[in-house]
Amino acid sequence: MRCGVLALQGDWAAHLAVLDRLGTAGLAVRSAADLAAVEALVLPGGESTAMLRLMEAERLDERIADRIDHGMPVLATCAGVILLARRCEPDQPSLDRLDVDVARNAFGRQVHSRVATVELAAALGPPPRLDGVFIRAPRILRAGPGVEVLGRLDGEPVLLRQGGILAATFHPELTGDLRVHRMLVDRGAHDGR
């Protein structure tokens, strides 16, 4: 199983380092050909508006949406969640593959970025919490009935799953806790069998 990381902008390199620690082959995805070479994909944090613009050249937005429709497992973090959301505030285009509405930068400015304890569902394995790094994170305003909440911060959903999509409004690539990435990799290995 080869796992891609969308590498147009943002903190994609940190995700490749995590995949390496998990012993999973990673690939920086910048083109349609790169995307065709991977079985799973990480949409990293960064600036969703910039990523949307950069995806246009090779129509990567449409291609990624199409791969998701055909079952490709995805881990979206922070800006990546905004890319997949049904709707976002302020309004901007999206791939519309995750049934959530989000508010961008809803936890305040860069100075309000922080590490906070996320309460985890049993599906992630022990311990039942992890340190979440929140950097100008989006807030989930609504999650549809098909969306399972796997992690909460102060009661609010911050880690979600819908089919093959895992979505974290925090940055699991910035701590040593590999469980969120492992969930993606396990899913990719399982689907590829």
Check 3, 15, 39, 78 and give the catalytic one. Answer: 78
Half-sphere exposure of residue 106: CA atoms within 13 angstroms, side-chain side: 18
DSSP letter at 34 equals: H
47 binds ligand GLN (CB under 6 A): yes
Q: Is 173 a catalytic residue?
A: yes
Least Å distance between CB 92 and ligand GLN?
9
Q: Is 88 a catalytic residue?
A: no
Q: Whole-angstrom distance between the N-terminal and C-terminal Cα of the chain?
A: 9
Q: Is 62 a catalytic residue?
A: no
Pairing mode, if any, of strands 165-168 and 156-162?
Answer: antiparallel
Total residues binding ligand GLN (CB under 6 A): 11
Binding to ligand GLN in span 134-153, by CB under 6 A: 135-136
Binding to ligand GLN in span 13-42, by CB under 6 A: none
- Cα–Cα distance, 36 to 32 (Å, whole number): 6
Question: Are residues 83 and 52 in contact, defined by beta-carbon separation less than 8 angstroms?
Answer: yes
Give the pair of three-digit tokens for residue 51.
């990523």
- Cα–Cα distance, 44 to 6 (Å, whole number): 7
45 binds ligand GLN (CB under 6 A): yes
Of 39 and 168, which has the nearer Cβ to ligand GLN?
Answer: 168
Give the residues lining the site for ligand GLN (CB under 6 A): 45-48, 78-79, 82, 104-105, 135-136
Question: Which residues are designated catalytic?
Answer: 78, 171, 173
